[in-house]
Amino acid sequence: MIQAIGLTSSTRKERPPAVDDVSFEAHPGRVTALLGARGAGKTTVVRMMLELQPGRGITYFRGRPLHRIAHPAREVGVLLGDVPGHPARTVRGQLRMLCSAAGVPGRRADEVLEAVGLVSLRDQRLGVLSRGMDRRLGLACALLADPHTLVLDRPAAGLSARESAWLHDMLRAHAAHGGTVLFTTDDTKEAARTADRVVTLVDGTVAADQEATDFARTRLRPRVAVRSPYAARLGVLVTKEARTAKRSVEVVAEGGTRLSVYGSSCAQVGEIAFRHGILVHQLADEIGDANPAAPRCSDTAGVRSSSGGRSAEQADGQGAEGLAGAGGQERGEAAGGSAERGGATGPTPLDSPTADPPAAGSPAAPGVFVPLADDTAPPGMRPSGTWPAEAPPAVVPGDGPVPSDTDARPATGSALLPPPITVRSARGPLRPLRYEVRRATGIATGYVTVGLVVAVSALLSVFLARVGHTPQARLLAAWPRELPLPPAALGAGLLGAVAFGDEFRHPALAADRGTVPRRLGLLAAKLLVGAVTAVLMAVAVVACDAALLHLVYGPELTEVPADWWSTGASWLILVIACAWAGVLAAGVFRSTTAGLAAVVAVPIVIVPLVQRALSGPSVRTAAGLPNRLSGLTLVHWPFGSERLAVAAVRMVAQPVGSALMLSITTLLCAYLVTVLHPRLR
């Protein structure tokens, strides 16, 4: 159950709030629609409910605010806008990455892909998906952790009628299993057809909170849609006979050959056309939006645009009747010919885009929900028992019969929810690490960067060897004296900046507040993966440089130096420090560019300042510090670790090392401040 209480958005410069004192409830087992025109504040309300936007008020999800829920992704599934994933990541890779963040098994990705009909597109990149496939993937992300509540912002925007019907069937199935569904829309017909309860927003305030049947009766007007080459003449005749019979009839010219007749029926309009010999191409009952602001006229002289949106007609040669419309479903009759139905259709398989909609009264027909639970499961509870039954399952408003137990099995291609999963209460310490590994290996950025760094370093080392006057250590590292940092250090800083920059550019985890960028566990995982990547790249650079130098100039340039241990440790510490500086700077400034700029600024800006500070007069020096440090221990350091400590101290004593340590310390403190101070997030 969702309880939104007094949601009021923050204001700036004495402007009125976009949302003012919005309160409503969404009950389990029911679909609730948040209806409003564009700019009414629907998205603001949803973001405030999810604590993604500041303001006053509070929202309870089954009695707890979101920040008090240990596993938010398992309580609330969210779809806000497009899927926030890297365009180069695959569909399956995106879901497996989110599985690691949510702490669910990796096989869950394949289960939800099968449920939403994206198995055949699992290797496609996110950047090439169509609007309908993106909506399916967004729903798969929301269902990944088997949440009790679904919160979706305009999920059917831009979809075709067939895709919209499939999406609404999925939402209906989730509610029928005992879950809570809240979605926003600006289409009154969609709200009346899909939801059990409609909350209407006008200028950021709740204008109405109604059951779907009451909403359809008060906000939607039945009308007769007529299409005829003699529409003007037919409109005049209908108006004339209505005045003669003293009936209140409104005829609106929709332009061209279309008419909308309010206050009449298909039978009456058809009889008038038959008596006067007027050819009719379409004659059907519709449910349209009763917009009081739209201009209307009582004869055919006036013209206005249709406010009902997409029409929904169904007819046969004898005037067949479709589903009744108390909850937004339309019934259709025709005097001749046939009219294609363009409104709500039954669920259709992804692989059969040309499949015909199901017949009225069938188990997959719109207006009747088909139960998908196991036969042995109690009413209102999923087979695994993970959702407590707080309300009985709801049925879509309509006149169709409720299917029996024998008809409860869905047909092929029907909307199926993914199977329930076992909820693990413990938060695994390796969740952020698994997520970071899958994030880093799921796109080609890291591989391309490492390849370019190795290639540039190899060519640069050959050039430096040809020119001469370069020490062997700098030659193997491809670090000329003219450059502030070697290519390997810059590459490590770039990979570190990308690690956190992509989190803010493609916030896949921010919506459900599972593992958001401002978490210490995620920071530790990024620092560890960044360090390992930097070490591997540094070793690859030295190995490739040595191999190329040996091939071009012989073995005299690739001899192992006597102090290789300390030199190698200093080299690894340098690239790791650059990677960490990139990670921390991107995390603090929320940008990949800022992270890389912080790495480049170390030798250009900070090193001169450190050199100036260290170049002043000094009375004492720290000579012999490594020997005194080793004497503090009662036992000898194993495996020559004292040499590693000496190398680390020497690296820090250098201007570049001192500047890097100063930058890392400052950025880490800034990151901790943003984590501990919520207002700076």
3-state secondary structure labels for all residues of 152-172: EECCCCCCCHHHHHHHHHHHH
- The DSSP letter of residue 393 is P
pLDDT in tens, 159-185: 888 999 999 999 999 999 999 999 999
Mean pLDDT of 630-653: 57
User: What share of the chain has pLDDT > 70, as a percent?
Assistant: 71
Q: Residue range 374-393: average pLDDT?
A: 37
CB 45 within 8 A of CB 39: no
Residue 578 three-state SS: helix
Would the pLDDT of 584 be above 90? yes
Q: Which residue has the higher pLDDT, 443 or 312?
A: 443
pLDDT digits (tens, 9 = 90+) for 536-578: 999 999 999 999 999 988 888 877 777 777 788 888 988 999 9
Q: Is 126 helix (H, G, I), strand (E, B) or coil?
A: helix
How is 402-448 classified by DSSP, letter by letter?
A: PP-GGG-SPPTT---PPPP-PPP-S--TTHHHHHHHHHHHSSSHHHH
Q: Which two tokens stand for residue 532?
A: 């390992």
* Rounded-to-integer distance, Cα 226 and Cα 249, Å: 14
At 102, is the secondary structure helix, strand, or coil? Answer: helix
Is the confidence at residue 140, as pLDDT, over 60?
yes
Q: Flag whether pLDDT at 486 surpasses 60.
A: yes
pTM value surpassing 0.75 = no
d(CA 24, CA 17): 18
630 or 219, greater pLDDT: 219
Class of domain 2-216: alpha beta
Residue 647: pLDDT band with limits 50, 70, 90: low
- 2-13: average pLDDT: 89
Report pLDDT for 609: 73
pLDDT higher than 90, residue 291: no
The pLDDT of 363-388, averaged and rounded, is 35
Predicted confidence (pLDDT) at residue 429 exceeds the cutoff of 80: no
In order, the DSSP letters of 244-311 are: HTT---EEEEEETTEEEEES--HHHHHHHHHHTT---SEEEEEEEE--TTS---SSTT-B---SS-S-
Burial of residue 620 (number of CB atoms within 10 Å: 0-12, 13-18, 19+): exposed
Give the mean model confidence (pLDDT) for residues 658-674: 85
* pLDDT given for residue 508 in this prediction: 75
Q: Given a cut of 50, is residue 641 above it in pLDDT?
A: yes
DSSP structural state of residue 60: E
Report the percentage of the chain scoring pLDDT > 90: 38
User: Given this model, what pLDDT does residue 378 score?
Assistant: 35
Helices (H) and strands (E) in the chain, counts: 21, 13
Higher pLDDT, 304 or 289: 289
Q: Residue 165 and residue 185: Cα distance in Å, rounded?
A: 14
Question: Residue 206's pLDDT band (boundaries 50, 70, 90)?
Answer: very high
Domain map (residue ranges) of the chain: 2-216, 431-680
Nearest alpha-carbon partner for 577 in 607, 613, 617: 607
Which residue do the tokens 């997520």 mark?
435
pLDDT at 147 over 80: yes
pLDDT at 627: 61
β pairing state of 180-185 and 197-202: unpaired
pLDDT at 192 over 80: yes
Q: Is pLDDT at 215 greater than 90 in this prediction?
A: no
User: Residue 400 above 90 pLDDT?
Assistant: no
State which amino acid sits at residue 613.
A
Residue 288 in this model has a pLDDT that exceeds 70: no
What pLDDT, on a 0 to 100 scale, did the predictor assign at position 19? 92
CA 36 remoteness from chain centre = 22
Judge whether residue 226 has pLDDT over 80.
Answer: yes
Supply φ then ψ for residue 71, to 5 degrees.
-125, 85
Greater confidence, 383 or 497?
Answer: 497
pLDDT category at 511 given cuts 50, 70, 90 is: low
Over 80: is that where the pLDDT of 158 sits?
A: yes
Mean pLDDT, the chain, rounded, equals 76
Q: Give the C-alpha separation, 491 to 528, whole Å.
A: 16
Q: Has residue 319 got a pLDDT over 60?
A: no
